[in-house]
Amino acid sequence: MRILHLIHRTWPYHGGAERYVLEHALAGVRRGHESVICSTDAWDMSWLVSREGRHLRSAGDTWQGIDIYRTGVVHPPLQNLARAVLRRVLPCGKDRFYYPNPFVPGLRKLLGSLPDFDLIHANGMPFMLYNGYYQSRHTGAALVSVPHANAGEKFRRADALSYFAGCQPKILRESTFTVAQSPFEEELFKEMGVPGERVLVLGSGVDPEEFSCADPERGRASLGLDGPVILCLTAHSDDRGTGNLIKACRQLAASGREFTLVLAGPVMPDAEAFIEEAAGEDNLSRRIVVTGPVSQMERIDLIAAADIVVLPSRLDCFGIILLEGWLCGKPVIGCWSGAMPDLIEDGIDGLLASWGDIPALSRNMGVLLDRPDLRMSMGDAGRRKVLAGYTWEKVTERFYRRVGEVLTGGGGGP
């Protein structure tokens, strides 16, 4: 079987949705299928909407049996104005061209130049789901749509729901099946009219073998860390709670507790002011370390070095970092948003706070700093949960079992 995987960024970039697609492509190869990934040349998300970000020069690669094709992002003059116009005049424009969907005129040509596929696995941003839908309708390929939607909290939806303002609901309803990252996302799709039997709640995973070489001492030594470490590893922004986390740590520092907050990963422009302000405060500046982007090995070592892993975000539809923290035996703190309320058993393997509830976030971090025994018990419970159901082997097995059911009518599957 020939499988086309669509995603806005891909290997060697490491991110949640990107890793999800890569693991499904690799699992397809292991099952004897032909896996192809089509993506853009973006490395930084900012490259999708401006020339300021980094991008990849290679138009294609072959990696571990996967053929990877990249189409260039185009940056026309007055592109935000053009995006606003196209949202109004083109089919599916309301979600297909909303910011930060890029201009990729070469994608349709690239897809048309490739031999037909049996299955199209379309992921991420609306422009990719739209192109997967278009290709499916013109070639007869089965379509699996995976929005990775950032919908916020169940009773306090995020503005990102403009993601579904145009054709996305129609695409999900007409897909062979749709993948949800959590029961919350499943209910969101059902509200759009997607039949429940055509929604697969799947989630993401981790590779335990990848963490077998984690070295906490190396992670601490690389940043000169001493004492308790709180790690937040994400693309830092306002929606991902960076400002809230710094404010919560300000309260934590005022209580006299000792800790170091490590902000690992790229820093988006809207988070820079929070970090600069903290750098000017005597009681806070010595407690915060900002790493910028980290390699995969550095990432693994930092997670192993942490005492607490925190993701105070309303923008993550799942949060693979939580699984990685658990795999290393760490307690996690998340928000009542995305998959986190379904993933974290509050008080058992982690703690939850509403997005923007700074006192609650500070209190949760304080409780875990004060209770090494609780950190250990939560980390152990989380590790058991990951090994039981959230390894990539188990996640991709559930995916290809469903593919087999819908394409062959049986459970054996491809």
Is residue 191 a part of any domain in this protein?
Answer: yes
Q: Mean pLDDT across the chain, nearest whole number?
A: 93
Buried b or exposed e, range 32-60, using 16+ CB within 10 angstroms: ebbbbbbbbbbebbbbbbeeeeebbeeee
DSSP state at residue 46: G
Higher pLDDT, 158 or 211: 211
Is residue 414 a part of any domain in this protein?
Answer: no
Whole-number pLDDT of residue 384: 98
On whether the CB atoms of residues 12 and 42 are closer than 8 A, the answer is no
Domain match, 380 and 402 both: no
Nearest to 242 by CA among 364, 325, 100, 356: 356
Domain match, 213 and 137 both: no
Structural domains of the chain, count: 2
User: Could you tell me the pLDDT band of residue 412, with boundaries at 50, 70 and 90?
Assistant: very low
Is residue 413 a part of any domain in this protein?
Answer: no
Q: Which residues pair with 369 in a beta bridge?
A: none
DSSP state at residue 211: G
Domain match, 38 and 121 both: yes
Domain match, 107 and 53 both: yes
DSSP state at residue 198: G
Domain match, 199 and 338 both: no
Whole-number pLDDT of residue 78: 93
Domain match, 200 and 52 both: yes
User: How many beta carbons lie within 10 A of that of residue 212, not counting itself?
Assistant: 8
Q: Name residues whose C-beta falls within 8 Å of residue 252's C-beta, 6 or more positions apart in sequence.
A: 259, 362, 365, 366, 369
Average pLDDT over residues 234-246: 94
Counting Cα atoms < 13 Å in the Cβ hemisphere of 373 gives: 0
Whole-number pLDDT of residue 157: 66
DSSP state at residue 241: T
User: Could you tell me the pLDDT band of residue 414, with boundaries at 50, 70 and 90?
Assistant: very low
pLDDT of 154 strictly over 90: no
Report the CATH number that the domain containing residue 344 is assigned in CATH. Answer: 3.40.50.2000
User: How many beta carbons lie within 10 A of that of residue 255, not counting itself?
Assistant: 11
For residue range 310-366, list pLDDT tens digits in order.
999 988 889 999 999 999 999 999 999 989 999 999 999 999 999 999 999 999 999
Domain match, 297 and 398 both: no
Is residue 317 a part of any domain in this protein?
Answer: yes
Average pLDDT over residues 197-216: 96
Q: Name residues whose C-beta falls within 8 Å of residue 367's C-beta, 6 or more positions apart in sequence.
A: 351, 374
**Structural domain for 119, as ranges:** 2-205+391-408
Average pLDDT over residues 89-95: 91
Is residue 226 a part of any domain in this protein?
Answer: yes
Nearest to 181 by CA among 325, 10, 16: 16
Whole-number pLDDT of residue 159: 60
Domain match, 339 and 372 both: yes
Domain match, 101 and 170 both: yes
